[in-house]
Amino acid sequence: MADNAVGVTYHRLHHFLTEAPWSVQEVNERRLVVMNQCSQTRISRGFTLIVDDSGHRKSGNFTAGVGRQYIGEIGKTDNGIVMVTTHLYDGKKSLPLDIELYQHSNSLPQGKADIEFKKKPELALELIDRSLMRGYRPGILLIDAGYGNNTTFLLSLEKRKLKYLGGLAKNRKVIIETEANKLQEIRLDKLAQSLQSEAFTPVQLNLDKPKTVWVATVEVELSQLEGTRTIAIVMNASTFQEASDIDYFITNVDSSIATDEWIVTTYGQRNWVEVFYREAKGWLGLKEYQVRDSRSLLRHFILVFCAYTFILWHTLTGGLRRRWANKPLNTFTDALEAFRTAMSFRASGVADP
């Protein structure tokens, strides 16, 4: 970060992260206020709110939050740090909202009994509440199976009158009504296997490479939840036996809206948070820091959020395109390159073109 900032040395930046008197929350709120002041960047009503957690490897055991846990970017358990985040997507822009460090129990003096220990769903609810307190009420909340499998978490969302679409594990049990009008408890993978091929509808996904998936929706009951919810089974083949990739989803959106196509296209918006992390880690140094305590870590993360938002704001408002680029800025890397060009001119004292 110090290498890419004009007039900033490593030691001054390190002092700013660890010792200087400033508030992470106040800086983050100011970042969002600035975005909301401009028509091109204002947070739209009915946006999609994505809840996710992202981790990266970290050696040793002296950094806050570090422990052996599942690290998504490598797809396995390793020593590392995990952050819980909320992210916005409204069809035009993708924007990080809030972030908290997950304090692994091994990193705390009293383990899970420590007063600072909070499970990921608890942290996620705190971040969701921050958005609601700002007046940001999403049209739909997207969660992966780590949160979708947590019934207490789903109940908390419904208590807040939020609509959600989330992943489920294949071993999750649901209650269905049989042809004999009896209730039967069954695992999701067994339910998928029992469905006839006619129950699945092909849906074309317009991705970089067009892809067809087969979707079946079923109304089910779940323990601790009143009424029915819509379950979707999404496969990459027309039959369970041929499928090599099967996903399971749950939503409390009315079945008249939660069609096969709506479910797969809406959940596909979760990819925007993956795009953000790829850019933030690859170009803005999200996982490159030399601090250990939780306050300094959060300060580093929020500065990365600010840098990302700064580039996004300039891209959406057109300033970079008009003055510092000779081609459309269609990607984050294109915008970052234009911004670096602008900074190099200003740092060298060259007049604006």
Q: What is the pLDDT of residues 77-92, one digit of tens each?
A: 999 999 999 999 999 8
pLDDT at 205 over 90: no
- In the chain, the percentage of residues whose pLDDT exceeds 70 is 91
Lowest-pLDDT choice from 181-185, 253-257, 299-303, 330-334: 330-334
What's the pLDDT at 348? 56
Q: pLDDT category, 184, cuts 50, 70, 90?
A: very high
**Structure letter (DSSP) for residue 350:** P
Q: pLDDT category, 351, cuts 50, 70, 90?
A: very low
Query: pTM score, two decimals?
Result: 0.90
pLDDT 10s digits, 128-164:
999 999 999 999 999 999 999 999 999 999 999 999 9
Q: What is the CATH number of domain 139-283?
A: 3.90.350.10
Q: CB atoms < 10 A from the CB of 36, how many?
A: 13
What is the pLDDT averaged over residues 168-180?
Answer: 91
What's the pLDDT at 155? 96
3-state DSSP assignment of residue 255: coil
What is the pLDDT averaged over residues 87-104?
Answer: 94
CA-wise closest residue to 81 among 302, 291, 309, 304: 291
What's the pLDDT at 353? 47
pLDDT at 352 over 60: no
What is the pLDDT averaged over residues 165-193?
Answer: 93
- Among positive and negative, which fits the CA dihedral 231, 236, 241, 246? negative
Distances (CA, A) of 232 to 147, 196, 255: 16, 14, 11
What's the pLDDT at 1? 59
Cβ atoms of 177 and 191 closer than 8 Å:
no
Question: Residue ranges of the domains in the chain?
Answer: 139-283
pLDDT 10s digits, 296-343:
999 999 999 999 998 888 888 876 665 666 666 767 777 777 777 766
Query: Average pLDDT over the chain, rounded to whole?
Result: 89
